[in-house]
Amino acid sequence: MYSFKNDYSEGAHPRILNALLETNLVQDEGYGEDRYSKEAMELIKEKIRNHDVDIHFISGGTQTNLIAISAFLRPHEAAIAVSSGHILGHETGAIEATGHKILSVEGKDGKLSPADLQGVLDGHPDEHMVKPKLVYISNSTEIGSIYSKSELQELHDFCQRNQLILYMDGARLGSALCSEENDLHLSDLPNLVDAFYIGGTKNGALIGEALVICRDSLKEDFRYHIKQKGALLAKGRLMGIQFFELFRDNLFFDLATHANQMAGRIKDELEKAEVKFLTHSPSNQIFPILPNAVITELQSNYAFHVWEKVDSDSSAIRLVTSWATSEEEVISFIEELKRELI
């Protein structure tokens, strides 16, 4: 049984484990004030070509989202998210647990547009309703789509004009930036969003996301919020060492590129077989629509999510690849797919 269920089924890239081994018995400061964390922050600042940002390492995506959003908002302010947004339906009300409503917008292809945001603002004119303040987007999105530079520029401009904070969930930012269709560079982000995070967990790390705060007014006292939410790890070096390893050369991007290529290989073959897809997703998640009988066959050797029923005979499945996805297994899977589909 080989799994395409998600991008966190294995441990860490071997280079990361090796880095942990090599530094293991060196004594250093706790709570992320160690040399490895500091060096990793510097490396990331160089990669994004901006030294005015603040960087914090936080253990996971939900943790990062809830700390950032609750730190950025006053009690009466709300977040806006597309209806498929991770914070809306897959974080057990973590944002609401910090006191903030999330306003859901239908959006398109898992993405938000200025017109969506204008609609929310129009519907929230006074103090009898929450005040929409933070725009939550993810890149790549929950359904594998990515934002183009111009789409992001438009969102940025709208948010600026309307005093909104633009926040990007980058759990799969590596995959987005390494997509063949991508025209964004990591260094564009500080100019386009107020804060974002670079996902480590789903791109080769054991644990850890790098939150990058770009807007000055959002930086103050941020470590207090991390600590208050229980996320200031005593051995913060665990994350520093990993991000150092991911960014000391091109490893972060190489791993994401591999993930995308593996998904792309499967996608290409499916397209050849004239299989349709639920969404257009040029990243490491694809959602082919297959006959139910084929799905059942595949399930005897492969693990994956059946995403949704499409009609009485077919369903969309979700296939996720990662830095760890084996090329051999992809080839075998394609072979089996071909057999099933012919």
Choices 15-23, 106-114, 134-142, 187-195; region in contact with a copy of itself by CB under 8 A: 15-23
308 makes contact with a copy of itself (CB under 8 A): no
| Smallest separation, CB 66 to a copy of itself (Å) | 5
Site size toward a copy of itself (CB under 8 A) is 76
Any idea what the Cα angle at residue 323 is, between residues 318 and 329, rounded to 5°? Answer: 65
Strand ordering across the sheet containing 77-82: 54-58, 209-213, 195-199, 165-169, 131-138, 77-82, 102-105
Do 136 and 171 contact (CB within 8 A), yes or no?
no
| Smallest separation, CB 240 to a copy of itself (Å) | 11
What is the contact mask toward a copy of itself in residues 144 to 183, using x (rule: CB under 8 A)?
----------------------------------------
128 makes contact with a copy of itself (CB under 8 A): yes
Residue list 19-38, contact with a copy of itself (CB under 8 A): 20-21, 23-31
3 makes contact with a copy of itself (CB under 8 A): yes
Alpha helices in the chain (DSSP H): 14-23, 35-47, 61-72, 86-89, 94-97, 114-122, 149-161, 173-177, 189-192, 222-228, 237-247, 251-272, 292-298, 327-341
d(CA 93, CA 99): 10
Q: Which is nearer to a copy of itself, 28 or 39 (CB)?
A: 28
62-82 in b/e form (b: 16+ CB < 10 A) is bbbbbbbbbbbbeeebbbbbb
129 makes contact with a copy of itself (CB under 8 A): yes
d(CA 107, CA 319): 23
The DSSP output letter for 186 is G
119 makes contact with a copy of itself (CB under 8 A): no
What is the contact mask toward a copy of itself in residues 205 to 244, using x (rule: CB under 8 A)?
-xx-------------x-xxxxxxxxxxxxx-xx------
Q: Which is nearer to a copy of itself, 31 or 153 (CB)?
A: 31
Interacting residues of 124 by C-beta distance below 8 A, sequence separation 6+? 78, 103, 130, 131, 132
Residue list 48-107, contact with a copy of itself (CB under 8 A): 59-67, 70-71, 74-76, 78, 89-94, 96-101, 104
| Smallest separation, CB 21 to a copy of itself (Å) | 6
Choices 13-21, 37-45, 183-191, 254-262; region in contact with a copy of itself by CB under 8 A: 13-21
* Phi and psi angles of residue 199, each rounded to the nearest 5 degrees, phi first: -75, 125
Q: Which is nearer to a copy of itself, 228 or 299 (CB)?
A: 228
